Amino acid sequence: MSDQRSRNGFSLAFLLFLALTLAIIGVGFASGLIAARMERQRLYEELARHNASVLSMLRASLMEPLLSEDIPVIRTVIEQVAKAEPELCEILVTNEEGKELAAWRDPGLARSEALIRFSDDVVFEGERFGKISIAWTADHIATLTQDRRVHVWVATAIPLTVLLVLVLLIVHWLAVRPLKRIYRRIHRLAQGDLQQTLQPRGSRELRLLADTVNRTVRLIREHKSHQEELKRAYENAYEAKEMAEVTLHSIGDAVITTDRYGRVTYLNPVAEKLTGWSQSDAIGRFIGEVFFIVDGDTGERIVDDPVVRALETGEVVLLEGYAKLNARDGQQYVIEDSAAPIRARDGHVLGAVLVFHDVTEQRRMAEEINYQATHDPLTGLFNRRAFEIKLQQLIEDIEAGEHALLYLDLDQFKVVNDTCGHAAGDALLNQLSGLMRAKLRSGDILARLGGDEFAVILPHCPLEQALSCAEKLRQSIQEFRFVWQGNTFAVGVSIGLVPFQSGRQSLEEILSAADQACFAAKDSGRNRVHMYQPDDRELARRRQEMHWVARIHRALERHAFELYAQAIVSIAESRRKLTHYEILLRMYTEEGELVPPGAFLPAAERYDLMGLIDRWVVEQYFAWLAGNPEHLAQLRLAGINISGVSVSDRHFLDFVTQQFEKTGIPPHKICFEITETVAIANLNNAKQMIKSLKDLGCRFALDDFGTGMSSFGYLKHMEVDFLKIDGGFVKDIVRDPIDRALVKAINEVGHIMGKQTIAEFVEDDEILSLLAEIGVDYAQGYGVAKPRRLQDLVAACHEAAYNPSQSVL
């Protein structure tokens, strides 16, 4: 408010201007008055002299008439004088007695008008005879006086104005301007600007004033800096105090402070909760009484208290190992803590601070996570990761000894899983896990590696004992019966056994040997134990398959496969057209030798390469058909085999659909084939794929039908168009009545279900004739037509008829 009032006041320049102006006006006014007064005095003196001459003339002229009291003459004289003196206003002549003898007055004279009167006695020879009075008007003197005053004022106004301007400029330059500069600096100072300083200029007083302002600024600056330092120090101290108090009361960690003797001086709320001691009860007690910790594994009290150690050593101490805090109320908490000494400025220890927090839940979660990381969530057994870690530990064990590894692969598990669903499969795995646990020693390690594969580590177990354990497991699983929703299932297990000693073999070598031994057990008929031996023929065959795996990969990369076709002919038709056949696959070695499928397909099936081969066959054959439109027009049906890998591959159907769209091949000209074994092993997937491909317009055939034990039971769930009767039954039907009866039964059941039948392995005309009698629809085999390269098929299809003996295909 004061600053606002100061802003609303008059500036120094204005006040100086006003003062000088008033002074000059006063001087001019006074000069005019003095000049007017002097002029008036002069005029009065002139009037007095003139009046004396007029009176002298009147005395001389009126002496005689006055003595004789000749009134007319007197009047004539005064009138003549009045005419001669225009300034006269009145002439009065009286006798010695004062009686008016004659008078003249200006008729235009106002009564109120000021007059200047003079009078003089008429004396003759010393005797007074009368009196003459003259009145002059004062207007003339007043007018002249006023004119004189105005003239003086005008004459003095111009130089005084010039003087005023010069004085104002000088004052502004020498005083006002420096003062304004000082004022602006003081104003900035009032606003907090303490950086700029004034340059001393001008008069000594202004320089002293500037120096004073600068010293004031420096003092204020120093004072402010000091105040800010004090404020910061106070704020820091206050914040530190508040932060310490708030932190200690609000942090999740428990905090206990002690004096240098280990007696409690403070507990925050978290420490009160965890220890069960209130601060009032705990203060003054030794830390070991309030903070009672025990070993988490043994339950024994931890004697080496971290606070005592921190006070003794003067260093930060961390609690090592797994510790639990026994609270006053009987609760137990898993904790982590640290203790540190509290030091004075000179470094000596004043006490200690103990910080700890409850990690009970974290410990539980960590144990749970560790359990999940090392155990199978379904069975609770060790998982593959934990299994490999424990196996590696046993391999690295410096204590020599004989050990064994069992690799177990369940037989017929997929039948249960696909038939009854995943819930049944999970229940089966859980029951078998419990069964196997009961047959093992306490130190043996049972793990589920994934799916239906298990492993058992038998530490310090001689070979004979390991074989006995493996056989017990196999027999127990064989005798086990799984019941689900009224259905009973029998399962088996193929076991590979690998004996090893610590430090003799690597983890990879042992696992590879176990896998090979397990595969040999499965490949030898399943439900048996196979012990790994370096010179094992089965394992040698397995290694040979690994050799084929590399060759298959190279063949796929350089397109070393070639498509062949084998005719499927109608037995009832007299003229057999080359419009129905099955696509077969051959491979050329790098040396150009032709390799039959029996040499490389087992390895491809074992090592999951059949999916790549299936895609290669479909893509190549569809492209070939698209490039031979005449053959495509004549084609009735072409059969393409699909492996179990493709049946389980949910992306394979998308791939086939894309190939149909890409090449424009009509789907009704393609018949996909899967074996009965593949269909049963992948029942749900097979049913879904058959339905999806038939929805596109494709046909479907069930290959090698009759090999399964439950063929007819599964057949009613398969929406296939053709049953390809397994060649094992067909090739001996002429000599074996049982095979003949089986072929007849399959044919009749297939026809009843609305499916056409195809007999495989038709080697001669005698078999062909017998098949005709039975009523089989189609025949395939070397007695009908041999496989032929696909590129030769176009020329063969131009033949008008087909003679089986010529083996066009």
Measured on CA atoms in the order 584, 589, 591, 596, is the torsion positive or negative?
A: negative
**What is the residue type of 797?**
C
User: b vs e for 190-205, b when ≥16 Cβ sit within 10 Å of the residue's Cβ?
Assistant: eeeebeeebebebeee
Per-residue model confidence (pLDDT) at position 800: 38
The two structure tokens encoding residue 453: 């594969």
CATH class of the region 12-157: alpha beta
Question: How far apart are the C-alpha atoms of 102 and 94, rounded to whole Å?
Answer: 7
Q: Same fold for the domain at 12-157 and the one at 251-364? A: yes
Q: Cα dist. 126→56, 74, 121, 253 in Å?
A: 16, 21, 11, 141
Per-residue model confidence (pLDDT) at position 27: 74
- CA 73 to chain CA centroid, nearest Å: 136
Q: Does the domain formed by 251-364 have CATH 3.40.50.720?
A: no
Per-residue model confidence (pLDDT) at position 537: 64
Report the candidate in 270, 267, 261 with the shortest Cα–Cα distance to residue 281.
Answer: 267
Per-residue model confidence (pLDDT) at position 324: 86
CATH class of the region 547-806: alpha beta
In which element (H, E) is residue 179 found?
Answer: helix 177-190
Please list the ranges in the chain whose pLDDT falls under 50. Answer: 1-2, 112, 709, 800-809
pTM (predicted TM-score): 0.42
Q: Cα dist. 128→54, 98, 370, 681 in Å?
A: 19, 11, 159, 181
3-state secondary structure of 270: helix
Instruction: Give CB contacts under 8 A, 24+ apart, made by 462-468.
Output: 462/402, 463/402, 463/404, 463/499, 463/531, 466/404, 466/406, 466/497, 466/499, 467/497, 467/529, 467/531
Burial of residue 87 (CB within 10 Å: 0-12, 13-18, 19+) is middle
Q: Which CATH number fits the domain 375-534, given the four candidates 3.30.70.270, 3.40.920.10, 3.40.50.261, 3.40.50.12500?
A: 3.30.70.270
Question: How far apart are the C-alpha atoms of 723 and 739, rounded to whole Å?
Answer: 16
DSSP assignment letter at 198: P
Q: Delimit the domains of the chain by residue range.
A: 12-157, 251-364, 375-534, 547-806
- CA 298 to chain CA centroid, nearest Å: 45
Q: Decide: 161 and 24 in contact? Cβ < 8 Å.
A: yes
CA torsion, points 518, 519, 522, 527, in degrees to nearest 10? Answer: 0
Per-residue model confidence (pLDDT) at position 713: 63
Residue at token pair 């298959």: 552
Strands (E), 373-474: 402-411, 445-450, 453-458
Q: Decide: 231 and 216 in contact? Cβ < 8 Å.
A: no
**488 strand-pairing partners:** 483
Per-residue model confidence (pLDDT) at position 626: 94
Per-residue model confidence (pLDDT) at position 538: 61
Question: How far apart are the C-alpha atoms of 293 and 305, rounded to whole Å?
Answer: 8
Number of H helices, E strands in the chain: 29, 29
The two structure tokens encoding residue 720: 């296939």
